[in-house]
Amino acid sequence: MDFSEKIRFLRKKNKWSQEELGRKVGVSNRAVSKWEKGDARPATDTLLTIATVFGVTLDFFLKKDEEPEKKRAVEPGMESLTELYRTGVGPSSSHTMGPAKAAELFRAAFPDATRYKAVLMGSLAKTGKGHRTDWCIQKEMAPRPCEIVFDVRTRELYHPNTLQLFAYQGARRVGFWEVYSVGGGSIAVKGHPVYTPPRIYPHNSFAEIARFCRERRLRLWQYVETFEGQEIWDFLEKVWAQMLATMEEGLEAQGVLPGSLGVQRKAKILFNQRHIDENAETRENRLVCAYAFALSEQNAAGGTVVTAPTCGSCGILPAVLRYVRDKRDFSDRDVLRALATAGLMGNLIKTRASISGAECGCQAEVGSACAMAAAGLGELYDMSLDQIEYAAEVALEHHLGLTCDPIRGLVQIPCIERNAVAAMRAINAVNLANFLTDSRKISFDVVVQTMYETGRDLSRRYRETGEGGLAKLYS
Ligand code: SF4
């Protein structure tokens, strides 16, 4: 549909006459008639009013109509791992960290405003309350007041996590941004590419990276070092220290998590309660799960976590690395290399597909984290490039189609338990890769693309809206 068809379609759908629409927008019925005939187009300001009147975004009118995007337009290269592993406050990287960062940048861009307004749309509107999106934005805007509007009506969005920020001096509007919280705490500001981090890696597919590494006989952690520089190790050391600190806090904490579900913390119980006749397998299961619960419970409680690649999936990678480090006596240097390799796989998924539950369901969060953990373990075990690729591929493949349906918008059920299950699955994927890599048929790049297409096909109900699955049926 072109513009004239879109406006006619929306007017008829609302059963308004041209005169009625003209009155709502503040123009004559002749002007509306000209738009519908394609004889004229409204000015941008008027277009914004039209979009508001119909409850759609500006993009609905500006974007050419097309099939739902299945293949992501991938720009060359990838951002630094410092954009993937982010330390911040939970419970959600896309619903708390991203909006908080947007609010911080917006306030710095319009410091003289006397008040602000934030309109939360899409998944941010549907589950923002449970995720505390309103609270974290108001905290960043303080001491200036910030009105929060949960716009659950607007459906035609460029990104499912859309946030509109307004700055005012008295009644006069002095600033406006449309922001997309794209997952893992990253944001994109429409029309402001300056807030987009540089792409320091030249490649963005595993096939390209593998070719580069084979030609130069590099391991994946060395590939990371080549483009990030030596300073990446200081960064990853801090990341690992924070992951362990969060885990320790979670293993100590007791009681009930915040929110209306009354979820009991379980990490400490799992950690301390040995089975009366515990064999090695049971012990492994119990400890890995205890570690994953500890991090995820801290996240649910609004504690400080590292995104790996998101807050909701922050328990998986640290849980398996800590368990295997202790079991096999690996050094912290080995763990940092594993974090580099795991981060590289997460970065590939983030760049070529998505790590956002609102965009592609839980397969994009917990599935990605499981792939990262499997790759990290593969690095720890000194596996070959092919084996690491296969381990990550298996881990992601068997999360395909996983929905995001957090009950009451809280990152608790199914999220916490799911981290523990995925951590165990990462260990299984590495075991399979150890034996079966030579017979594999599916590449990591193919499974990443499959995850993205599957995510785009998922009903909106299963993409962090709290409208389907457990969120709908739990009472
Ligand atoms: S279900 Fe998965 S994607 Fe959704 S909030 Fe929970 S962890 Fe995140």
Judged by average pLDDT, the poorest of 82-96, 202-216, 291-305 is 82-96
Place of tokens 């998944």: 123
Residues 292, 425: Cα–Cα separation, whole Å = 12
**pLDDT tens digit string along 413-464?**
999 999 999 999 999 999 999 999 888 999 999 999 999 999 999 998 999 8
Residue 277 has pLDDT above 70, yes or no: yes
Would you state the pLDDT for residue 68?
Answer: 43
Judged by average pLDDT, the poorest of 107-111, 113-117, 357-361, 471-475 is 471-475
- Residue 164: its H or E element: strand 161-169
Number of Cβ atoms within 10 Å of the Cβ of 29: 14
Residue 94 has pLDDT above 50, yes or no: yes
How far is the centre of ligand 1, averaged over its atoms, from the C-alpha of 321 (Å)? 21
Would you state the pLDDT for residue 40?
Answer: 80
Length reported for the chain: 475
Judged by average pLDDT, the poorest of 150-159, 380-389, 394-403 is 150-159
How far is the centre of ligand 1, averaged over its atoms, from the C-alpha of 386 (Å)? 30
Place of tokens 């009681």: 255
The pair of structure tokens assigned to 246 is: 């969060």
**pLDDT tens digit string along 108-122?**
999 999 999 999 999
Q: Computed over its alpha carbons, how large is the radius of gyration of the chain?
A: 24
How far is the centre of ligand 1, averaged over its atoms, from the C-alpha of 252 (Å)? 24
Determine which residue's CA is closest to atom 6 belonging to ligand 1: 415
Residue 45 has pLDDT above 90, yes or no: no
CA 159 to chain CA centroid, nearest Å: 12
Maximal C-alpha separation, the chain: 83
How far is the centre of ligand 1, averaged over its atoms, from the C-alpha of 459 (Å)? 15
Residues 286, 298: Cα–Cα separation, whole Å = 18
Residues 363, 369: Cα–Cα separation, whole Å = 9
Query: Average per-residue pLDDT in the chain?
Result: 92
Would you state the pLDDT for residue 5?
Answer: 75
Would you state the pLDDT for residue 327?
Answer: 97
Cβ 379 vs Cβ 219: under 8 Å: yes
Residue 207 has pLDDT above 70, yes or no: yes
According to DSSP, the residues that pair with 305 across neighbouring strands are: 88
Would you state the pLDDT for residue 48?
Answer: 80
Place of tokens 């299961």: 285
Q: What is the mean pLDDT of residues 256-277?
A: 94
Cβ 311 vs Cβ 411: under 8 Å: yes
pTM: 0.82
Number of Cβ atoms within 10 Å of the Cβ of 33: 14
Nearest atom of ligand 1 to the alpha carbon of 403:
1
Nearest atom of ligand 1 to the alpha carbon of 419:
7
Determine which residue's CA is closest to atom 8 belonging to ligand 1: 312
Cβ 78 vs Cβ 205: under 8 Å: no
Range 216-225, long-range pairs (CB < 8 A, 24+ positions): 219/337, 219/341, 219/379, 219/385, 220/340, 220/341, 220/344, 220/375, 220/379, 220/385, 220/388, 221/337, 221/338, 221/340, 221/341, 221/379, 223/344, 224/81, 224/340, 224/341, 224/343, 224/344, 225/340
Share of residues in the chain with pLDDT > 70 (%): 96
The pair of structure tokens assigned to 367 is: 């599935």
How far is the centre of ligand 1, averaged over its atoms, from the C-alpha of 407 (Å)? 10
Map out the domains of the chain with their CATH numbers: 92-195 (3.30.1330.90), 203-473 (no CATH)
Top mutation candidate among 124, 415, 417, 421 for ligand 1, by most atoms within 8 Å of CB: 415
